[in-house]
Amino acid sequence: MDVTRYARQMRFRPIGETGQKRLADARVAVVGVGALGCVIAQHLVRSGVGFVRLIDRDIVEWSNLQRQLLYTEQDAEDLLPKAEAAARRLGAMNGTVAIEAVAADLSADNAESLLDGVELIVDGTDNFTVRYLVNDYAIKHGVPWIYGGAVGASGMTMTILPDETPCYRCVFPETPPPGASDTCETAGVISPIVDVIGSLQATEALKLLSGNREALHGTLFQADLWNHAWLPLSIRHAKRPDCPVCGEERRFEYLDHDEQVPIAAALCGRNSVHLTPGTKVALDLGQLAERLSAAGELDQNPYLLRVKLKNDMTFVLFSDGRAIIQGTEETSKARSIYAELLGI
């Protein structure tokens, strides 16, 4: 163990040498390396957590740079997947940590394999469905996870310990109907709130991983930085006996969801649609590049192809068949462009 590197952290009594060794042996998955995920991953890697898996489906875009603290203008120019760009930067911060970059969309199809082998999952997504999926996996396998969300100048976080605390579904039983809650599109977001919430999540992770469970805050913690309001809500009585996930039923409907048609989802605040094929595909991007160059100006790197289409839209295609269609929020339109270009 690199004692010099971690000297200040080990001098902090609750961690000490024992806690530092535990961190070195720990294995964590960060789901989503956007604004929150960048903060969380940086703290975990600098603290010497032994293994960090970064799961993210997006590429770095200009509109990310205002608050996604690991990325640079060059990453956006190079169309890098966030998982790859983050892994490079984090690797330069601490070469002793095993960092695994997974450029994929976490779904019912791959959650069991992508979340396998970790003792903690930290939420860096902005997506309710993915959180329900992570919650299903965590409760099913008894893995703690740390929820976090931020919008505007406000955010919240909660640490979920299977069989001990309420689960995410106990506290948020239903996905809010579209338009019912603020999103980063309607309310925007400032970067300090992301830093605060991500740091709270990282602190909870350090407590758990270093063997300091008793120090967890044990609340649904909310903060509003603009109005300087700090609100820890008690969740002591929030566990619902009729919760479909952590109650008697133990029904994991997000994890067991069997989707066969291409799934399309409009991306928050991005005038984009993300498409995931219903079946597993492995595309030969080199071969496709030739064909797709007829459709518009083409850029490529080892991870993806980007075609600037003639109708002012942009088509980004990954080798696993996922695509981001920029310039529309209509999922049906995006699907038809996908079908036209790929013939599937």
Nearer to Zn ion, 41 or 243 (CB): 243
Q: What is the DSSP pairing of strand 51-56 with strand 27-31?
A: parallel
Smallest separation, CB 131 to Zn ion (Å): 13
Nearer to Zn ion, 245 or 273 (CB): 245
Nearer to Zn ion, 44 or 167 (CB): 167
- Residue 52, CB half-sphere, CA atoms under 13 Å: how many? 36
- Backbone torsion region of residue 245, taken as left when φ is above 0, otherwise alpha when ψ lies between -120 and 50, otherwise beta: alpha
Smallest separation, CB 36 to Zn ion (Å): 22
- Nearest CA-CA partner of 39 in 234, 172, 192, 247: 192
Number of residues interacting with Zn ion: please give it, by CB under 5 A: 6
Nearer to Zn ion, 11 or 236 (CB): 236
Q: Taking CB under 5 A as the rule, which mask of x and - marks residues 154-183 in contact with Zn ion?
A: -------------x-xx-------------
* Number of neighbours of residue 177 by Cβ within 10 angstroms: 7
Residues 6+ apart with CB under 8 A from 224: 153, 154, 231
Q: Taking CB under 5 A as the rule, which mask of x and - marks residues 238-257 in contact with Zn ion?
A: -----x-xx-----------
Using CB atoms within 10 Å of the CB of residue 149, give its burial: 0 to 12 exposed, 13 to 18 middle, 19+ buried. buried
Smallest separation, CB 244 to Zn ion (Å): 8
d(CA 179, CA 254): 21
Smallest separation, CB 29 to Zn ion (Å): 21
Smallest separation, CB 262 to Zn ion (Å): 31
Rounded to 5°, the CA angle 280-282-287 comes to 150
Kindly list the distances between the CA atom of residue 303 and the CA atoms of 57, 108, 284, 288, 341, in Å, as whole numbers in the listed order. Answer: 11, 23, 11, 13, 18
Smallest separation, CB 315 to Zn ion (Å): 40
Nearer to Zn ion, 65 or 238 (CB): 238
Q: Taking CB under 5 A as the rule, which mask of x and - marks residues 250-289 in contact with Zn ion?
A: ----------------------------------------
Q: Which residue is nearest to Zn ion (CB)?
A: 243
d(CA 2, CA 6): 7
Nearer to Zn ion, 10 or 171 (CB): 171
Smallest separation, CB 168 to Zn ion (Å): 7
Interface residues with Zn ion (CB under 5 A) are 167, 169-170, 243, 245-246
